[in-house]
Amino acid sequence: MKKFVIISVILLLIGGGVFGFSLWHYIDSRSVAEPVPTEAAPIADPASEQATAAADPVTPAPSAADVFAAGYDKANAAVENMSREQMVGQVLMGVCSDMTTGSADLAHYNLAGYLLEGAAFSYKSADEIKEGLAAISADAAVAPILAVTEEGGEKCTVSNAGGITDKSYDSPRNILALGGIREVEKTELDKATFLHDLGINLNLAPVVDMPNAYDQIMYTRSLSDDVNTVSDFARYCAKHVQAKGVSVALKHFPGYGTIPDSAASEAQANGTAVIDTRDADTIRNTDYAPFKAGVDDGAHFVLMSNVVVKSIDATHTAALSSALHQELRQLVGFSGIAVTDIIDDGDYSAYADGKNVAVAAILAGNDIVIARDYRSAYNAILAAVNDGTIGEDILKQACTRVLAYKYTAGLIK
């Protein structure tokens, strides 16, 4: 009996030891697996985020590198050594129909460049055009922008002038219907090579407006009413046409959309601007898309329209609207050059807040103003800077962006 008790005690001691070891090991493992908790990160309040968004309807686009980032150091240094008069010239592009007489004015006013019209090319050979454009550039203190409008179809400044080429660039819409998008892209590359070889460095194209019926503004000059097709077209031009040495200008921001031709005829008869009555969300969600696509792939220019977009700014044309320039910069994310259409091809004084139209265009946010009467525009802008209507900082910002473009695009070697 005594022997049985001894054995039982021994077994109990052994069992207790095993249990104690197991308990210690469990506690130790818990101390490793479960570290001391740290303070949790605060969780965003959805209601608060919605309130912030509602207070700021213009949501900035995702930040991206400035399209002219490579040129800003040199541009900033150059602007510091420029007079006020020289800076004013760099925010103006004159309309030129005669290369021989245009050269002197380009140098005298230090213009950003010229938009050359068909008469400048009429029945000249390619060699004569090259020589004429080279002479203009040689006389300029700052390398000039030499621009044309070569959209295809009815708007072909150079190829329709006669004597230069036997090529006739059809409208993108017709090419798309007959040969598909690849044929459209091939034509754009051919066009860019043709222009670059002549010495032209900017084409005021492509048209990325999206009318959907024949009786609407821009129908024959546009590509399609399919937003994806037009967006791909804008992206292709920005990426591949510019690689050929010819900058593109996406136009006409924010888009003519589905405005009928009759509205344009009526506005012309009344001496007023065309009114776009569509709601803002429709425009932002549809018409902005091709501009955004081209901008994302590095388009150098966006050309502002002369349409009044009633739902966004009922009192100014797009070119004279600071609200629409803000949308271009923030919603579309554009960091390049905003340029007007020809400001004196219509009377837009009623939309200029009592100011000279060229002055109003700079104040609205344009970097370059295109004018036929560039002498008067120059004098008006200079006077506005001198009297403080246009702040020196505004002039410097526009001039610096123009020079940054010229350095980035290789116009200034």
pLDDT at 162: 78
Please give the mean pLDDT across all residues of the chain: 86
Higher-scoring residue by pLDDT: 163, 298 = 298
Residue 151 within a domain: yes
Q: What pLDDT is attached to residue 263? A: 93
Please state, for a pLDDT cut of 70, what percent of the chain lies above it.
Answer: 84
Please tell me the predicted confidence (pLDDT) of residue 24: 37
Mean pLDDT calculated for residue range 306-314: 98
Nearest residue to 304 via CA among 253, 239, 240, 232? 253
Is the separation of the CB atoms in 289 and 258 below 8 Å? no
Residue 27 lies in a domain: no
The answer to whether residue 201 sits within a structural domain is: yes
Average pLDDT of span 29-56: 31
Range with lowest mean pLDDT among 90-94, 132-136, 400-404: 132-136
Domain count of the fold of the chain: 1
The answer as to whether 322 is a domain residue is yes
| Closest residue by Cα to residue 75 from 413, 335, 407 | 407
Q: What is the per-residue pLDDT for 396? A: 98
pLDDT band at 35, cuts 50/70/90?
Answer: very low
pLDDT of the residue at 38: 30
Is residue 155 scored above 60 in pLDDT? yes
**CATH code of residue 296:** 3.20.20.300
Decide if 334 is inside a domain: yes
Return the minimum-mean-pLDDT range out of 40-44, 310-314, 316-320: 40-44
Phi then psi dihedrals of residue 296, to 5 deg: -60, -25
Q: Residue 35: inside a domain, yes or no?
A: no
Angle, in degrees to the nearest 10, between helices 227-236 and 288-296 = 30
| Predicted TM-score (pTM) of this structure | 0.84
State the residue range of the domain holding 391: 71-408
pLDDT band at residue 150, thresholds of 50, 70 and 90? very high
Q: Which is higher by pLDDT, 101 or 213?
A: 213
